């Protein structure tokens, strides 16, 4: 059953109703021994049991689409309904490191996704991490293919998943993109997406997905110094320093940094859903527990006064 904390939000002009926490598929089934289909399926099922209705994946996430397909097939056998879910996947980046943004490459990736996800339509198809928008927007590019697929009903919405705020703004302004997935830029360490993406998206009624909000563990509730040793170059000196300041402050007040961070993201009404890249069931359980945790209002006030975050 969906908790009050997971009351659904409208995803821009798509009018999809999505839970404010979604399941990201990048790390599904990852264990100390490697990747497990069984753990991945259990993770998807646990997210759905807890009321999450958003699942996001990508071609570049290796076996993620196939594992989600396995989970969904057994979920439907248990009585679950495809109509209750909002499934997004991506095109442009592949698991082998290659990229392709032509119409042909896009159609091929979408066909693969339909087969692997065991569905006959995809709710949101996002263009993934282009270095240049020209091959996406030009005739014969990804957008042309996605518009055709949308007209056919094979996909229901078109989106962009990329780090560049400039790219988000340019795509939003075309009027053809329904969803922007921005990442690592709206959380307690970085709120730059507020003006860079959320503001133009709101002007054009484009829905927002918020990715990498836990910053690969820096804001996951444990000591960021320990998390930093596991995430390589992503753990920049500035990010780690800020995360440590926040963690030390939260620890002194008996507040979970994971809860504070996820609830901070949810307090931003322009964000429809924050995606949690859960690897196993306990990860999504911890996230849902965190968004339901009671945080006194004076903590939010002190957070603003101490760090300028509100």
Q: What is the mean pLDDT of the chain?
A: 97
Q: What is the pLDDT of residue 265?
A: 98
- For 209-226, how does the pLDDT look when each residue is reduced to its tens digit (9 = 90+)? 999 999 999 999 999 999
How is residue 220 annotated by DSSP?
A: S
Neighbouring C-beta atoms of residue 244, cutoff 10 Å: 15
Number of helices (H) and strands (E) in the chain: give both, helices first.
Answer: 13, 12
In the chain, the number of structural domains is: 1
**What CATH number should be reported for the domain holding residue 294?**
3.20.20.100
Q: What is the pLDDT of residue 32?
A: 86
Question: Among 256, 235, 145, 115, which Cα is nearest to 184's?
Answer: 235
Q: Is the pLDDT of residue 309 over 90?
A: yes
Q: What is the pLDDT of residue 5?
A: 83
Domain hosting residue 253, numbered range: 4-307
For strands 21-24 and 273-276, give the pairing: parallel
What is the C-alpha separation between 110 and 113, in angstroms, rounded? 5
Q: What is the pLDDT of residue 1?
A: 43
Q: Is the pLDDT of residue 98 over 80?
A: yes
CA Rg value for the chain: 19
Hey, what are 66's tokens?
A: 């196939």
């Amino acid at each position: 059953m969906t908790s009050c904390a997971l009351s659904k939000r409208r995803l821009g002009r798509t009018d999809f109703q999505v839970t404010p926490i979604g399941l990201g598929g990048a790390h599904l089934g990852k264990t100390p021994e490697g990747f497990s289909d069984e753990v991945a399926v259990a993770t998807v099922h646990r997210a759905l049991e807890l009321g999450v209705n958003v699942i996001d994946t990508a071609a570049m996430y290796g076996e993620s689409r196939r594992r989600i397909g396995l989970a969904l097939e057994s979920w439907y056998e248990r009585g679950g309904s495809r109509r209750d879910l909002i499934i997004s996947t991506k095109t442009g980046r592949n698991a082998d490191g290659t990229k392709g943004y032509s119409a042909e490459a896009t159609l091929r990736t979408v066909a693969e996704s339909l087969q692997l996800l065991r569905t006959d339509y995809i709710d949101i198809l996002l263009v993934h991490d282009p270095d240049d928008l020209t091959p996406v927007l030009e005739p014969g590019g990804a957008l042309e293919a996605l518009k055709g697929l949308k007209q056919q009903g094979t996909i229901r919405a078109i989106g962009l998943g990329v780090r560049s705020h400039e790219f988000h703004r340019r795509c939003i302004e075309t009027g053809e993109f329904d969803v922007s997935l921005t990442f690592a830029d709206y959380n307690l360490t970085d709120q730059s997406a507020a003006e860079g993406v959320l503001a133009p998206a709101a002007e054009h009624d484009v829905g927002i997905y918020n990715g990498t909000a836990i910053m690969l563990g820096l804001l996951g509730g444990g000591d960021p110094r320990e998390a930093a040793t596991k995430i390589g170059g992503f753990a920049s000196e500035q990010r780690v320093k800020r995360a440590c300041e926040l963690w030390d402050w939260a620890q002194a007040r008996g507040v979970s940094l994971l809860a504070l961070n996820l609830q901070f993201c949810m307090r931003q009404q322009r964000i429809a859903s924050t995606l949690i890249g859960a690897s196993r069931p306990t990860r999504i359980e911890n996230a849902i527990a965190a968004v339901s945790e009671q945080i006194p209002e004076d903590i939010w006030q002190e957070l603003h006064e101490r760090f300028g975050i509100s």
